[in-house]
Chain A
Amino acid sequence: MTQTRHEPTGQAAMKMHQLITADGTRVHDELLDPFVQDVDRDTLISLYGDMVAVRRIDVEATALQRQGQLALWPPMLGQEASQVGSIHAMDQADFIFPTYRENGVAFLRGAKFPGIMGTWRGNMNTGWDPYELNMATPQIIIGSQTLHATGYAMGIAMEGKETLAMAYLGDGATSQGDVHESMVFAASFQAPVIFFCQNNHWAISEPVGLQSAVPIAGRAPGYGIPGLQVDGNDVLAVLAAVRWAAQRARTGGGPSFIEAVTYRMGPHTTADDPTRYRGVTELEEWAAKDPLARMRTHLVNAGMLDGETEAGISAAADAVAAELRDACINIPDPEPMTVFDDIYAEDHPVLDREREQYRRYLASFEGQPGAGQQVQGSAS
């Protein structure tokens, strides 16, 4: 009934690469098949287990937000295959530039829960050392991480390393100037960078059809970057596609753009009400393409998933959720003066002055009951 364009037109012009269909059937794809030849039962099980764990993390974190333990949470329900498949294709030496929604990626990259949850609880500025994980901290600014990734990749090229940088971005980010600039530089300098775009169909309340009149991956060739559209709910296809792009980057082939077509089954964040803008049939339509269900069907049909393995996966995911909850609610509130830590590499006079002013401000609470524990205001 509405006039809004929900999907880019000319969708037919783009081939969506797929290896496992929504009903769990393994299909062949000339481009992607060579990149998953080594994938055996154990790898498939580990991909599935990771998706189950990521979904469980999402459920637990959403509950914690409703229980007042997190300020905010950006659900990743429905996007598990895109997150799990993409990070599985990376080497530890590659550098990841995530958005705020890649909390499943961060978990699989080795980030610890106090670090992942602290930012969303609102009492940590950053949750991990980027150089320890080779993963930047979550970027809230839409699209700016693509600039960081491109710049980092240009540095890799200058140093002649065989690693790469991967920027995560969403469909909405592709409308940002930053992303345009990134792609211009990436193409001009043939930087070893992957633009991994999760088209989850909604930029908060804006449908993807308003971001782009053509399929998002179809824009990349205009910059001189190959664009590949892949079924973002097919973990095997995502793994293969990112491996394809990584091989290009490592062999001097330059940047690649991947559009993983997926769907955000939850709200934009826990502060959003998607029922105000989402069509009523969308959830049903995408539930039929669920990334976990299709992988499970595939594994069961292939005789690779028995009851015991499945119970083990489920128990492991529950343990992850319990660890997350425990870590989250026991994160200590930071000492007010630590707000000055880790901002600059070295102290300087302005910082010293501000620190001293703040110290005096805090001192004015002294002698009051409860002083020193909690201070209302910008710093605490």
Chain B
Amino acid sequence: MLAEFKLPDLGEGLTESEIVSWHVAVGDLVTLNQVLGEVETAKAVVELPSPYAGTVASITHEPGTTVDVGEVIITFEVPDSGAGPASAPEEEAPKRIPTLVGYGADPETSAVPVRRQRVFATAGAPAATPEATAPAAPVHVQAERPRSTPPVRKLARDLGIELELLAGSGERGLITREDVVAFAGDQAKGTETAVAAPPSSMETGLREVRTPIKGVQKAMAQAMVASAFTAPHVTEFMTVDVTAGMEFLAKLRQRREFDGVKVTPLTLAAKAVALAVVRHPELNSHWDEAAQEVVTFNYLNLGIAAATPRGLLVPNIKDAHTMGLRELAMALGGLAETARAGKTAPADLAGGTFSITNIGVFGIDGGTPILNPGEAGILALGAVRKMPWEHQGQVALRDVMTLSLSFDHRLVDGEHGSRFLADVAAVVADPAMALVLG
């Protein structure tokens, strides 16, 4: 016997979820409550336990797809043992959400609440009212949910008619039972009323895919738009010979106290920024438009842009200015790990004062980073490359890196920005310079 598992409403009124991963494949034998995979709702990533013991017959949605609540996501071949405890759930009407009666939102009916038009059943079958005899108006597809009453909506659903395709003949465009019945009659006769092709009939070879904007992506978009169109960005680049810096990192890795601690160019750059903001506090400040004040921070909450499976996050290290190199390296390691595991606490995402984005890990040299909203500066680290470079009057193969600094020109002028970048570059190029700047 084939049994279906329909995507339930996993969190009080959700209408859809994204399949994150499957832990089983077609043909796998599964036990009751065995974890089948993970889905991400608007609220959380949750594991789906199997409602059946049996064999996986099909998986109908690939990871990455967003599925409406009520759609079949996986089917099972289960033993034909009658009504075992695990075999009862699938007796409901096809379009109903399998969860509960009247609970959560039916995707079809969850749009703008429409004032309910009370329909009292008159004795006998409803006779054709005068309005209903008027010729059907030209049909147009309405953007909002069509006005109708629950009984009529149910009738339409039972007949497989989408109300969006109908023009209502009732008061203020209300779709009446007669409209639905008439439309159904027309369809049966094959007379094409002015109906557009069904919107969802593209079977194969999709040329466009539309994905709802949501979650971390939505948050990222809002933050970036807000930042890009409020803070006048200036970006400066500086390419430096960091051979001495890389040799310094190699030496650190040999030291016992750095055992198991990851030290990278990012560690060095973080320390360089912590030193440079002391000399150039403009880069560690905030433009408070509402108060018409500039807030200068006497601490550094250093944000690190992290690419996570759920999108871009910028958690920050609180009071990074108080940390030594080892402490900073450990904090950086922990931050990225936590962010990638999706466990960053909201407090770690708030209150940043300056950010670093490490685009070098993708092999990129430079670019124009966009400021994390509310911050005055962001530094992008390029990849460290072996390049022919001038060294002691000769051309030699050296470790070279580009630093890109964007700053908010309301807070930072060209001179301060340039001096800040030069200071950061000096420390990354030769950590001994920290003694001079610190």
Contacts and interface: CB of A to CB of B under 8 A. Distances in A.
A146 B101 CA distance: 31
A354 B342 CA distance: 50
Nearest to A325: B85
Interface string B27-70: 00000010000000001111111110000000000000000000
Contact of B85 (A70, A278, A329, A367): A329
Contacts of A269: 12
Contact of B10 (A270, A361, A367, A368): A270
B101 A329 contact: no
Contacts of B93: 370, 373-374
Given A71-B100, A71-B104, A280-B338, A63 B49 contact: yes
A68 B8 contact: yes
Contacts of B5: 67
Contacts of A67: 5, 8, 48-51, 89
Interface string B172-194: 00000000000000000000000
Contacts of B43: 271-273
Contacts of B7: 68
A378 B113 CA distance: 13
A204 to B, nearest CB: 12
A251 interface: no
Nearest to B70: A68
A329 B88 contact: yes
Interface string B82-126: 000110110011001111111110100100000000111100010
Contact of B345 (A2, A333, A361): A2
A59 to B, nearest CB: 8
A122 B119 contact: no
Given A3-B347, A368-B158, A123 B49 contact: no
Contacts of B96: 374
Interface in A131-175: none
Contacts of B106: 376
Given A65-B10, A275-B343, A329-B89, A361 B49 contact: no
Interface in A242-263: none
Given A67-B8, A370-B93, A378 B102 contact: yes
A364 interface: yes
Contact of A267 (B44, B86, B317, B347): B44
Interface in B307-347: 317-318, 338, 342-343, 345-347
Given A273-B44, A378-B102, A69 B120 contact: no
Interface residues of B, number: 56
A278 B44 CA distance: 13
A373 B96 CA distance: 12
Contact of A364 (B46, B98, B119, B343): B119
Contacts, number: 139
Contacts of B109: 376
A122 B102 contact: yes
Chain A interface category by residue count: 35 or more
Contact of B150 (A271, A278, A377): A377
Interface in B148-181: 149-151, 153-155, 158
Counting chain A CB atoms within 10 Å of each CB, the highest count among B46, B50, B348 belongs to B46
A267 B343 CA distance: 14
A58 to B, nearest CB: 13
Contacts of B147: none
B118 A63 contact: no
Interface string B1-14: 00001111111100
Nearest to A363: B121
Contact of B102 (A278, A365, A379): A379
Contacts of B118: 361
B318 to A, nearest CB: 4
Nearest to B12: A271
Interface string A1-40: 1111000000000000000000000000000000000000
Which of A66, A69, A360, A371 gathers the greatest number of chain B CB atoms within 10 Å? A66
A370 B153 CA distance: 13
Given A122-B100, A365-B151, A374-B93, A66 B121 contact: no
26 contacts: A1-B348, A2-B318, A65-B8, A65-B10, A66-B46, A66-B48, A66-B49, A67-B51, A68-B6, A69-B99, A70-B99, A72-B12, A121-B100, A123-B101, A271-B43, A273-B45, A322-B85, A330-B88, A364-B119, A364-B120, A366-B121, A367-B125, A368-B151, A370-B93, A376-B150, A380-B102
Interface of B: 5-12, 33, 43-51, 85-86, 88-89, 92-93, 96-104, 106, 109, 118-121, 125, 149-151, 153-155, 158, 317-318, 338, 342-343, 345-348
